[in-house]
Each structure stands twice: as C-alpha cells, then as structure tokens.
Structure 1
C-alpha cells in the first residue's frame, strides 16, 4: 500500500433468506426456526427477562413456540402496531430518514445467524445504520438508565449487536416510546464492539451446533422464577402417580445448600432478597429434575431427605366462562368451573439410615 493511502473496509453483503412481505405468521416463524434471530440472543446468553435458553431450544425444534412477553399479548400487539409511528417520531427527532427492507437476512459466513430488522437509517455521511423500535410503559422507562447513566437494556443490546454482525453495519439506534406524545421517547445509539461480537458469535454457534442440531436441551441456568415457569409450561400438570425422582450428587448438594439458606433466612432481616434469590435458583434446579413427579429423594450423611412438590388445585372460573355464565346460567356455575394449579415445595428429613 502506498504511503499516505487509507485502507477501505470491504463490507460483507448479507445473504437473503426470504422476502418477508406477504408471508403468513406461520411461514415467518418457520423461517425463523432455520437459525438464531436477534430477539433470540438474550435467551441463549441467559439475560432474557422473559424466557430461558431451554424455551428457545424448544421453539427452534418446533416443540413449543414461546414469544417474548406472551403473558401480555396486548402490549406485544400494540408494539407492532405502533412501529410506524415510533419510526416517524425518530425521523422528526433526529432528521434521519428511516426505511424498511422486508427481507430476512443471513450472515455471509454464518448462515444460521438471521436478521429481520425493523428499520434501516440513512445517515448524512452516506452510511447505513439499524433502527430498532421499542415500546414500554412509563414505569419501565427506568430500564434505559443505570445509576443515572443512559444505557440500552442488555437484552436489547444483544439484539442490536447481533443485527450489526449479520448486516456488517457499525451503528444501531433504538427508539423507545413510553408515553403518548413525541417527547416521551428514548433514543439511544450503540456502536459496534468486535470483542463482544466475537464472543456472542461463539456462544450462538455453540448453542446452534451443540443443542439445536444435536437435539440436546441446554441446562437451566436462569433465575428461579423463570426456570420454574418454564418447567411448568413444558411438563404440564403434576402427576401424583409418577415415581419419586432420585437426586444425584450435584442436586443433593444443591438441596443441602437450600436447607442451609433456609436456616439463614430465619435469622436474617425480613425480605433478604439475596438469600431468597439463591433459594429460588436452587429450588428451581430440583424442580426441573422432578418434572411431573411430586416427590424426590436423596441421602446425605446417613439422613434420608424427601422433597415433595404437590399440586394445590383451586376451582375457579376463567373470564370467558364467567361471561357465558352470566348470559346463559346466572344461577349455576359448576359446569363452567376450571381448575388452576400451583405446587408447594417441602423438604422432610429422616435421621435413620436407608
């Protein structure tokens, strides 16, 4: 290279997996299962507030689909409906032009990395950036700050960095509407971080090859509540006739630690969150092993331990049946009763050797 000349980076053009305009929801989901998309990354990294890596695994194998925020489908649907409006607010606030390309892209080198980008942005210097549209409520806007410093929530950051890798672009904007006027909006930008990207690609590739393609479910490593909800979703109702599960050495050690923390909690300040979260994680690991079973057993130092996780079923009437009840049979409700279920986790020990 001649002295004084500058290197020009050669961009990798992403591949096009499919044109998304006109695809049905089922067709679109089918293409998403051909790889890892931006909204999948947080789950496989263990930083998603909504789903576990195992949820993602089940989704990719089409065993069960789990959408982020599925418990609040109205908020999810509102987010989709408001995308054009939020993009317009972004344009007014920044002066940049935003536009859509209705295609699902693949990474040029790693075709299992997919990108279905909300919007692209035309910048004044002639370069292109990514724009991700988000909506939230007024209280949740605090997630966009950390200790008073502006930030992008980590679960959205991973999505943006995935898209930058697939599209080989260096800038990603986020525009999040949290109110009902154009001033109640948060705009953030992240720049490409190659060290982050390298590790992310490694972890994505590992997940795709060693779990999805190998059909080997990943272990549960997430927070206790998230794991317990995932187990409930995929194992279904408790089965009191199922045989007791024997806990291996690793799970027995977790049970012993759970009991230690249980004792510590009695002498700790009320609502000690650190102890409670540790207990939830340990309990979740045991519950994941138990599945439908209501009992688990193990032995430690000559003591037999029995864990019970029994269902608590409460009769109730869901909203749809309640409406029908009022209209059709105001004096009779038994035939419309549905049964909800929760389960109680209890540990008992017997000092006699097995």
Structure 2
C-alpha cells in the first residue's frame, strides 16, 4: 500500500460517553496502538499470547489485577498536562478528538489518539503523551524513543493517514523535566507493521489458534502462571516429548556455573566481614568514621537497618486468637522453582 494513497479513517465510536468496560469491549474488536509491541515481542507489559487471550475473551485463572495500574492511571490523568506543556514549548496548537478510529483497508487496526496537532500550514499531526519516573528518563537520551512507543505511533499514523507525529514525555514535576521527539512516516516500516498485525489477527485471533509465546522470559513465565493456575501436586507425572534435551543440559550447566559463583560470593563476603572486624570494634555504637593514610581519605559508615516483622510463632498465635484480623491482613502468594535432577536412563 502506497502512503500516497488518499484515504480517510473510519469512526468506530465516540468514546467520550463510554464506561471503561465498554471502551475495552470496543478495543477487543481489533488491534490498538499499545497492542503492537506485544505482537512484535518487545512489550514491557505483555506477551503476544496475553494479547491473544484478551482479544478472544479468555480470562486468566489467577486474577492478580493490574500490577502497573497506578502508573497507567497517572499517565492517563497527566495527558492533558503533557499536551499543555508541549503546546507551550513548541507554539503548536493541540486538540483532542475523543473517537475511536479504524483503518478503512485493514479494519482490525484501531486507533485512540491522545491529541492531534494543527501545524501552521494547516496540516494535521499526532501527539502521543507519555509520563515516566525519573529513573526511566535515560530511555529518551540521545534523541532516543522507547521502541514500543515508536511502534504505537507508527500504527496511529497508518490508521489516520498522517505523515508526522510527536511523542512527548514528562518525567518530573516541572516543565524542564520534559522531552519530545518527532517521527516521520516510513513506508517500509509501516508495511512491515501492517503485515505482522494482519498475520496476528487473521491467523491467530480469527482462527482461534494460540500464538507461540514471545518476549522476555519473566513476562512469559508470569503469563503461564496466570493462565494455567496454581500448582496442583495431585496431578500425576507427565512424559514430555517434542522438546530438545540439550536445553536441559544447558540449564544444568548454568546451574553449576551459578553455584560456583555463589560459592565465590560467600567467600568474598566472609573475607570482607573479617577485614571489617577491627574497624567495627573501634566504632562501637558509632555509625561513622574517617581514616587518612597520607594519600587517601576513607569515609566509613556502619549504619543500622531496622526491620519490624511478626515471627512465625506470633503469626500462629494471631491466627488462633484473632482469626478475623488474620484473615483481613494475611495474603497467600505462590512461587515455583524450576529444578532439574539428572538421572541415568
């Protein structure tokens, strides 16, 4: 598809009066900009299989809620502020259009655009508003843009048939802690994006075929846990076939390497403690000291860490004597450890 092709996006729905659940139902009709990174395997939040399950309406067996809901809520509430700062810094007019759009030729491609920009020549651009914490500002260094945001905005440009976009991010509490970057439409990258989205929608969602997992291992393992459920030790041992044993051999080799490193770490810890003994003895109850040897000056601290916790015995007593309080504040979590023991066949 040539970018020179003249087309107008179609309006799916006016999102202003929708509840969040209604809006989510409309989003499940296609692929939104924030979904693209999961398809491409670079999302920091979800895998392609999480996205697939969401689109076909499969609920997780373990509902842990949204772990990053606060960050999402902050980002949503500060969109207007980010747009205001961008407008002030650039002199460009920005305005919202509270509608969900779709691509006329690829109806599975949806777009909820934060803001639009009106340039001095009358042309229209896209403004995507982001927030992040101060530690994440390095992702924007050297004119960089987090890749998941690039994919999101390229998706929007394709749906809206718009050639220029800006991504703005507020990472602090004043207008100087703010960056913005521009993106020009790229025909080759856009077509690759469309091809990947089309394949995901047609081959997986429409055919109800689960895609293979992609993305970071931590995300994949968390997803498996959510959708497979808690461990059940009553399930009989299964025989696994179709996978390569060399992966298990590699796991065992890494386990041995890790064990050696941990042993060395314990040796280092022990030596450091031994070296600290005479200094700690001189400090006594003190927490700070300084020592000079003529060429160097050393600042020494020996600060306490105060931790308050309820021991196992006290917890049992609380459970017996005040079960209502125990039930209100106790929480159950599960972690599972993957181990291999090699045996003769």
TM-score when normalising by structure 1: 0.75
- Residue equivalent to 1:85: 81
2:248 to 255, 262, 274: 255
2:41 to 46, 51, 76: 46
1:64 to 56, 59, 62: 59
1:102 to 92, 98, 101: 98
The 3-state SS of whatever aligns with 1:130 is strand
1:341 to 311, 327, 334: 334
Contact 1:107 1:113 in 2 (8 A): yes
The 3-state SS of whatever aligns with 2:342 is strand
Relative to structure 2, which stretch is displaced further, 340-349 or 131-140? 340-349
Equivalent residues in 2 for 1:164-179 (5 A)? Answer: 164-179=157-172
- Residue equivalent to 1:241: 234
Equivalent residues in 2 for 1:124-143 (5 A)? Answer: 124-143=120-139
Q: Structure 1 CA distance, aligned partners of 2:131 and 2:38?
A: 20
Q: Structure 1 CA distance, aligned partners of 2:75 and 2:7?
A: 31
- 1:140-171 per-position Cα deviation (integer Å, ceiling 9, x unaligned): 111112xxx21110011000000000011111
- Residue equivalent to 2:304: none
Q: Structure 1 CA distance, aligned partners of 2:5 and 2:332?
A: 61
Q: Structure 1 CA distance, aligned partners of 2:128 and 2:263?
A: 41
- Residue equivalent to 2:72: 76
What is the CA-CA distance between 1:346 and the residue it aligns to?
Answer: 1.2
Contact 1:32 1:114 in 2 (8 A): yes
Are residues 144 and 345 of structure 1, via their aligned partners in 2, closer, same or farther at CA, if it must alter by over 3 Å? same
- Residue equivalent to 2:31: 36
The 3-state SS of whatever aligns with 2:42 is coil
* Greater RCO (CA < 8 Å, at least 6 residues apart): 2
What is the CA-CA distance between 1:223 and the residue it aligns to?
Answer: 1.6
What is the CA-CA distance between 1:243 and the residue it aligns to?
Answer: 2.4
Aligned length: 288
More strand as a share of residues: 1
Query: Which of the two has higher C-alpha Rg?
Result: 2
Q: Structure 1 CA distance, aligned partners of 2:120 and 2:324?
A: 68
Q: Structure 2 CA distance, aligned partners of 1:74 and 1:245?
A: 41
Contact 1:70 1:76 in 2 (8 A): no
Q: Structure 2 CA distance, aligned partners of 1:91 and 1:233?
A: 42
Q: Structure 2 CA distance, aligned partners of 1:201 and 1:177?
A: 30
